[in-house]
Amino acid sequence: MAKVLLINGSPHADGCTAAALSEMIRVFSEEGIETELITVGNKAIRGCISCGACAGLGKCVFGDDPVNEAAEKFREADGLVVGSPVYYASPNGTLISFLDRLFYSTPFSKHMKVGAAVVSCRRGGNTASFDVLNKYFTISGMPVASSTYWNQVHGFTAEDVKKDLEGLQTMRNLARNMAFLMKAIADAKEKYGLPKQETDVFTSFPDGK
Ligand SMILES: Cc1cc2nc3c(=O)[nH]c(=O)nc-3n(C[C@H](O)[C@H](O)[C@H](O)COP(=O)(O)O)c2cc1C
């Protein structure tokens, strides 16, 4: 059975972002897909200190921490949904700290795990935030699931989001598309194997070193 890990970056476990993610979870369950939801926005999560210790440790240097706990679940997952409230036209700071460290410190391949970003705003800054979240997927060889609109809902409270019928429809279509992609990728892996990834070149300077 395919598994999806959903990360809620909001401090509100039952807020607007949660309402959007719940709509997706309902569809995943109809599609026979296992889900796990983690709320990280209500935790004290510091930013990456660029110490590089993760290269040797295979995990973030900040040991007993939500990032390392989520890493194991991410390793097992076929898909990752990242949901964020919009703060000053960006994903919220706690989530950014979490994702920087999660993606940087985990040594396992994310190749062909399907990613989907979801944003919730009262009024504006949604597409800028959406773009930021999608960049974690697209640097990691993760195909991105899309929907019938950019993956966003509008509201200040979860009750508002329940009235955003197009937003909820976007979430349902997103979950269906993501389920299809995960199933198709699982079949294609059996049939063709994963595409080769070249990683030898790491160019920073004109001499190539
Ligand atoms: C610090 C802060 C900054 C915010 N900035 C924006 C913003 O730039 N644009 C916007 O439309 N809403 C903004 N909001 C409102 C939230 O993004 C919005 O209500 C969101 O749907 C809340 O989601 P949640 O209930 O999952 O936390 C901001 C809220 C906070 C607390």
Residue of 63 and 193 predicted with greater confidence: 193
To the nearest whole number, what is the mean pLDDT of the chain?
96
User: Which ligand 1 atom is at minimum distance from the Cα of 161?
Assistant: 21
Distance 51 CA to ligand 1 centre (A): 32
117 burial type by CB count under 10 A (0-12 exposed, 13-18 middle, 19+ buried): buried
**CA of residue 75 to ligand 1 center, whole Å:** 30
**Residue ranges lining ligand 1, Cβ < 6 Å:** 10, 12, 15-18, 85-89, 120-125, 155-156
Q: Whose CA is nearest to atom 1 of ligand 1?
A: 87
Rounded mean pLDDT, 98-119 = 98
Q: Scanning the structure block, which residue is given the tokens 């062909």? A: 112
Please determine, for residue 166, whether its predicted confidence score (pLDDT) is greater than 70. yes
**What pLDDT was estimated at residue 5?**
98
Whether the CB-CB separation of 160 and 16 falls below 8 Å is answered with yes
Please tell me the predicted confidence (pLDDT) of residue 177.
Answer: 98
- Name the residue of 87, 151, 171 to mutate for ligand 1: max ligand atoms within 8 A of Cβ: 87
What is the rounded distance in angstroms from the CA atom of residue 11 to the CA atom of residue 8?
8
Mutate to test the pocket of ligand 1, among 21, 22, 86, 94 (most ligand atoms within 8 A of CB): 86
Distance from Cα 20 to the centre of ligand 1, integer Å: 14
Q: At 151, which amino acid appears?
A: N
Residue 209 has pLDDT above 60, yes or no: no
For residue 11, report the distance from its CA to the centre of ligand 1, in Å: 11
For residue 205, the model assigns a pLDDT of 74
The mean per-residue pLDDT over the stretch 16-34 comes to 98
Confidence class for position 203, pLDDT limits 50, 70, 90: confident
Residue found by looking up tokens 């294609």 in the block: 188
pLDDT at 208: 59
The predicted-structure confidence for 35-92, as pLDDT tens digits, reads as follows 999 999 999 999 999 999 999 999 999 987 899 999 999 999 999 999 999 999 999 9
Query: pLDDT band for position 204 (50/70/90)?
Result: confident
Instruction: Quote the pLDDT of residue 65.
Output: 87
- Provide CB contacts within 8 A for 130, sequence distance 6+: 117, 119, 150, 151, 152
* 188 CA to centre of ligand 1 in angstroms: 39
